[in-house]
Amino acid sequence: MIRVVAVVSLLCLLVLVLYLPSAHPADRFLAQLRAEHDDMTAFWGGAPALRILSRTLSLQDSARQATPVPAANDAPPASAVDGAVAQEMASVNRRLFDNAYFRSIDALVLLAAFRLSTLLEWLPWLAAFCAAALVDGLGVRLVKSKEFRHHDPELFAVFACLGIVTACAAVVAFVVPVSLHPLAIPTVPLLISLLVGKALANFHRRA
């Protein structure tokens, strides 16, 4: 059951992420990023909002460096024939990647990086609660084993599936160009840690 839920959730995630750039232009994602930056400035203050934006640009630069598409200025010196081939390949790359769909993908990735940077800004305050939820789940499981109480594999499957669905839904929410309240982003790791803790509390390991 868990594998079926994981596969279906990942397929839905992939379809939605690939569909969004075709449904929204790049300007829509950029406008949403500007609006959320203004909200973060009002919520966090100027310095934290600029730190979030700087981290976003760093993530975008890292993603561009990891792209498999080579840049023309990175090519070594070549002969006339090799130069003609390189120019033709550069023209093919421009026609393939320099279009509205891929520009929307770049803007979508930038919006996702901004929201991920916002989540990273919350992590120092959330880490203690997330760790406590996981430790609590392990503690409940240990107590059950000491008391010779049976673990519930059905509850484990339910909480594990809910955790998978929540994680996939969070990824979709990170790329959808709709306004998110600044307090909505930190609820993602809190909810996932609670579900994982409940799943650990009911985990049954077969001998």
State mean pLDDT over 147-154.
71
Q: Please give the pLDDT value at position 156.
A: 84
Beta strands in the chain (DSSP E): none
Higher pLDDT, 28 or 95: 28
> For residue 173, which of 119, 134, 103 has the smallest C-alpha distance?
119
Q: In a 10 Å sphere around its CB, with 0-12 CB exposed, 13-18 middle and 19+ buried, how is residue 168 labelled?
A: buried
pTM of the shown model: 0.77
The values of phi and psi at residue 151, to 5°, are -80, 150
Instruction: Look at residue 88 and tell me whether its pLDDT is greater than 80.
Output: no
